[in-house]
Structure 1
Amino acid sequence: MNTQVETLPMGKKIIYSLGQLGWSLGSFAVMNLLYYFYDSNSGTDGSRMFPVYIGSAAVLGIIASLSRVFDGITDPLIAGLSDRNRSSFGRRRIYMALGAFPFALLSLLIFLPPTASALLNTVWLFILTFLFYLFMTMYVTPFFALLSELGHTPDERLQLSTMISITWALGFMGGNSTYALQGVMERAGLEPVRAFQTVIALFSLISLILMYLPVLFIDENRYCEKRTSDEGSFIAVVTAFKNRDFLYFTLSDLTYFLALTFIQTGISFYIIQLLGLPKEMATTVMTAMFLLSFVFYIPVGMAARRIGKKNLLIVAFSLFILSWLLLSFWGLLPVSETAQAFITVLFAALPLAIFGILPNAIIADIAEADGRRTGNYKAAVYFGARTFMSKMGASVTLLIFPVITHLGGTMDSAPTVLGIRTTTYAAMVFLVLGLLLFLKYDEKSTLKLLKDNPEGEPAE
């Protein structure tokens, strides 16, 4: 083990967190705007904003879901390759360097359907979406593994997790500004399609620049322990899931991502069809939610050190369930539509801050504790396995979202109010299940192992 490893200075921590901003912004459109672009009804009159490119919401749901399944499968595979890599450039940076450019480019090409043929557009979307998630995994999974290796103590990992949570939220807010920026460009004379595509092209370029910052300026040989894993990808994943605490945590995490994907995918539908507000309000609501969540970032870190990460996540699950209950009544309460939206924002901000910060720190602690217990360090596999579960959750949402939103109608018609409201009930059920699973996670045993083995020697 390299005993001369240096502590990452604050400037490098900021550079690392900017990589998160890059991939968060670059992934936003594909992960959250596919339905908006390919299955959109633009306003309260039900008219379409964009042309019909692929003809069926069911086909879109299949593509979105299968691509996320593929994404989840490639996560642990690439994670295993990264854990076993011995490149002098860095076992994480080499994959990040190879993945960043095609990742950013594909984030734009997916929204440039080539022809008026629904069949060709469907093939285009299918192939490019799968490639997008492959290269996204090549960047994101090694990036997360660096969190465990650049942070040498639980407090350092919590700090890095807090910083990348902030930049993820900034990227998410930037992506949500698509609605507003599209409106600005439409008023400048562009047609809706070109306005939307121009915004996505701009975000693609910005994300590319930001993603390369940690690749260029963070030297793993200086700031990371020189340690690898000898397990194959499959065996590494199996042994990771045999870790009881990791299993229960990731199962609960899966249900959170189910609910989160509902809000990310459905925000424009909730705003337009439940509240009857213009599409630009989706940007306002999501931006307000994440800006307000920033108020809690420092208190969350302080509280986590005082009362524990587990207790805070229990609070987060409870408040997020309440937020979805409020959202389920949008359009039905005796207050203005705008007030309904912002009341929900007030309740959702704190759980978003907690979920944004703590899960990555918990996974980093679990991975480090396992490495100290076994002497076999495989942080990328732990993060890859975790993202596999989260993406399975997202893929389930993407598969069932168009089915649920078209309740009371047909798959070839616009989503119905009944269907859109039903998605809020589904999200609440998933979150209740997630809370019950999370209660089985034993935080004390992980922290005890880290405390009892401070030098990283394998535990007896």
Structure 2
Amino acid sequence: MTAQARPDDDVRIPFKTKFSFGLGTSAEYIVLLGMGSYAMLFYNQVLGLPATLAGAAVSLSLILDGFADPIMGSLSDRTRSRLGRRHPYMYAAPLPIALSLVAIFNPPQGLEHLWLFAWFFTFVVTLRVFMAAYHTPHLALGGELSPDYTERTRIMSYNTVMGSVASMVMAFVALSIFFRATPEYPRGLLNPDAYPPFAAFSAGIALALLLASAWFTRDRIPSLPQPPANLPKFSPFEFLKDLGKAITNRNYAWLLVAYFFLSLTLGLRAGLSLYVNTFFWELTSEHLRWFVLGALGGAIFGGALVTRLHQKLDKRSTIVIGCLGLAGIPALPIALRFLGLMPPNATVQLVVALLTFSLVTATFTAIIQISVMSVLADIADENELKHGHRQEGVLYSTRALFAKIDMALGQFLAGVALDLIAFPPKAVPGQVPDDVLFKLAMIEGPAGAVPGLLAAFFYARYRITRARHAEIRAELEARRGRMGAAPAGAPVGAGVAAPAAPAE
């Protein structure tokens, strides 16, 4: 780049590529909506599986899936093929993902609790492992599409906003069509006949989007980074070395610690939110579908705002603000109810108030998701400078491992909490004892915010500023120049031996 060139010259990625990349996350959000939001309620409240067993199935699957993530990250980082490092896995995983989602919501009838647990656990694990096989290379692809500090934020904005839009639209469709109220089931989410067609519809849409994302980003393969010529192939030993290189990066380590606490908040709330909405606030499916609009508006607003925040405040400050909002805002409605400041149940005023909180929460969620995804690409630059090869796959996936282990703990604790407070199986809204509802709300609201506040403290320890990132990129370009490598914008490491790591 010459001194007169504009900062965005040669780094802006075409809209088609950003949109196609975002399709993959749209499909992931649709799958996770079905598995994460509805599966536990389906098995516990519809099929009668004890909450602890239902929570254990989700939690154990998250842990096993979490270990699959870094393995896939290291494997794809080291893959050499005519389809590049990421696309072979993005073509192979979609069909097993779709079939597993259908199986989760179609267990054989008449299974005893232990066998019902086994069915749930088996197909949740299968689904999550194949999601790791797709999603880890897919996220790594997003991290390497551009070397630019701000363009990476734009790419991840498309990714997050499109995922949120897909999730919200699917939730609206699910609550309006599949889980609509009937005379027999005024609460449509408790209708057992609604779940199989919902799963089949979700699986079909997800399959199409996953394949479309892989197909319409294939034209970027020639310009993507490739493994250095002397980088050893994947092996257990090289995998452990890759993990060590990632975890010993101080900036990355602080992100992992922070995300550990944030995921505990997210996991606990994910396991309890439908219970709170259905039994504490006494909302129907018709009420809940309007929350989709609030979440959708927040995702779009957060996605539009985050690039400007990174330009004004830098990424670290933006992450801390987003984390504080994500931890605290969802707890406010419950606190206000106990103070007598929320409208009564079954009123339009309550729905409007909760919808407003949903919009603000979604805004902070989008801000922190986009920001963290963007800084991981910056850390990949830092690790390339130190170790001589790029590790987007390992960096994105190891973060996912820590998050899933902790989110599994959060969801398991949600199941345990439901049993400890004696929440009744197959409960009827309006007939749950007040003391049980009070405990449920306190766990999901104020108590659930505490780990998120701790996360904000640890996110503040991150240290790659815009200026420091510019220094890292300059050093990488100078190294390539000394080695006779291709100029900036060419594939990193293509046909170039990895240099020895500089002395500390």
Fold equivalence (TM over 0.5): yes
1:151-230 equivalence runs, <5 A: 151-177=146-172, 178-184=174-180, 186=182, 192-219=191-218, 220-228=220-228, 230=232
What's the RMSD between the two structures over aligned residues? 2.6
**What SS does the aligned partner of 2:80 have?**
coil
Matched AA of 1:450 = I
**What SS does the aligned partner of 1:114 have?**
coil
1:104-119 equivalence runs, <5 A: 104-118=98-112, 119=114
Partner of 1:47: none
Q: Deviations over 1:131-163 (max 9, x none)?
A: 111101000000000012212322221111010
Partner of 2:34: 29
Matches of 1:377 and 1:195, distance apart in 2: 46
Question: Cα distance, 1:173 vs. partner?
Answer: 1.0
Question: Cα distance, 1:184 vs. partner?
Answer: 3.7
Partner of 1:76: 70
- Is the 2:104–2:123 contact (alpha carbons within 8 Å) kept by the matching residues of 1? yes
- Is the 1:406–1:413 contact (alpha carbons within 8 Å) kept by the matching residues of 2? no
Matches of 2:257 and 2:167, distance apart in 1: 24
Matches of 2:72 and 2:211, distance apart in 1: 19
When residues 130 and 378 of structure 1 are mapped into structure 2, their CA distance, relative to the original with a 3 A threshold, is: same
Matched AA of 2:440 = I
Partner of 1:138: 133
- Is the 2:168–2:295 contact (alpha carbons within 8 Å) kept by the matching residues of 1? no
User: Does 2:8 correspond to 1:11?
Assistant: no
Matches of 1:281 and 1:410, distance apart in 2: 23
- Is the 2:87–2:214 contact (alpha carbons within 8 Å) kept by the matching residues of 1? yes
When residues 393 and 222 of structure 1 are mapped into structure 2, their CA distance, relative to the original with a 3 A threshold, is: same
Matched AA of 2:210 = M
Matches of 1:372 and 1:213, distance apart in 2: 34
- Aligned pair partner of 2:274 in 265, 268, 277: 268
- Is the 1:79–1:233 contact (alpha carbons within 8 Å) kept by the matching residues of 2? no
Partner of 2:400: 387
Q: After alignment, is 175-184 or 269-278 more displaced?
A: 175-184
Question: Cα distance, 1:210 vs. partner?
Answer: 0.6
When residues 295 and 8 of structure 1 are mapped into structure 2, their CA distance, relative to the original with a 3 A threshold, is: closer
**What SS does the aligned partner of 2:341 have?**
coil
Matches of 2:83 and 2:20, distance apart in 1: 18
- Is the 2:318–2:368 contact (alpha carbons within 8 Å) kept by the matching residues of 1? no
Matched AA of 1:401 = A
Q: Could you tell me which runs of 5 or more consecutive residues in structure 2 were left unpaired when the two chains were aligned.
A: 1-9, 344-349, 480-498
User: Does 2:415 correspond to 1:402?
Assistant: yes
Question: Cα distance, 1:68 vs. partner?
Answer: 0.2
User: Does 2:327 correspond to 1:321?
Assistant: yes
Q: Deviations over 1:192-246 (max 9, x none)?
A: 2222221221111011001011322223532312235547112111220111110
Partner of 1:447: 469
Partner of 1:235: 241
User: Does 2:393 correspond to 1:373?
Assistant: no
User: Does 2:416 correspond to 1:417?
Assistant: no
Partner of 2:4: none
Matches of 1:309 and 1:207, distance apart in 2: 31
1:243-254 equivalence runs, <5 A: 243-254=249-260
- Is the 1:255–1:431 contact (alpha carbons within 8 Å) kept by the matching residues of 2? yes
Matches of 1:123 and 1:155, distance apart in 2: 46
Give me the identity figure in percent: 20
- Is the 1:245–1:440 contact (alpha carbons within 8 Å) kept by the matching residues of 2? yes
When residues 7 and 214 of structure 1 are mapped into structure 2, their CA distance, relative to the original with a 3 A threshold, is: farther
When residues 39 and 295 of structure 1 are mapped into structure 2, their CA distance, relative to the original with a 3 A threshold, is: same
Partner of 1:45: none
Matched AA of 2:126 = L
Partner of 2:485: none
Matches of 1:135 and 1:428, distance apart in 2: 31
Question: Cα distance, 1:322 vs. partner?
Answer: 2.7
Question: Cα distance, 1:339 vs. partner?
Answer: 4.2
Question: Cα distance, 1:7 vs. partner?
Answer: 6.9
Q: After alignment, is 232-241 or 192-201 more displaced?
A: 192-201
Matches of 1:399 and 1:161, distance apart in 2: 30
Matches of 1:346 and 1:201, distance apart in 2: 29
Matches of 1:111 and 1:449, distance apart in 2: 51
Question: Cα distance, 1:15 vs. partner?
Answer: 1.1
**What SS does the aligned partner of 1:94 have?**
helix
Question: Cα distance, 1:29 vs. partner?
Answer: 1.1
Question: Cα distance, 1:349 vs. partner?
Answer: 3.4
**What SS does the aligned partner of 2:385 have?**
helix
- Is the 1:77–1:234 contact (alpha carbons within 8 Å) kept by the matching residues of 2? no
- Aligned pair partner of 2:284 in 278, 284, 301: 278
Matches of 1:167 and 1:188, distance apart in 2: 36
Q: After alignment, is 379-388 or 344-353 more displaced?
A: 344-353
- Is the 2:266–2:410 contact (alpha carbons within 8 Å) kept by the matching residues of 1? no
| Length-normalised TM-score, structure 2 | 0.82
Matches of 2:364 and 2:12, distance apart in 1: 31
Matches of 2:212 and 2:77, distance apart in 1: 22
Question: Cα distance, 1:36 vs. partner?
Answer: 1.6
- Is the 1:72–1:388 contact (alpha carbons within 8 Å) kept by the matching residues of 2? yes
Matched AA of 2:207 = L
Matches of 2:223 and 2:181, distance apart in 1: 44
Matches of 1:184 and 1:282, distance apart in 2: 11
- Is the 2:251–2:462 contact (alpha carbons within 8 Å) kept by the matching residues of 1? yes
- Aligned pair partner of 2:449 in 428, 440, 444: 428
| Length-normalised TM-score, structure 1 | 0.89
Partner of 1:66: 60
Matched AA of 2:104 = I
Q: Deviations over 1:305-361 (max 9, x none)?
A: 222011111211222233133033264333323244134225423312211311100
Question: Cα distance, 1:303 vs. partner?
Answer: 1.7
Partner of 1:43: none
Matches of 2:312 and 2:476, distance apart in 1: 20
Matches of 1:185 and 1:372, distance apart in 2: 58
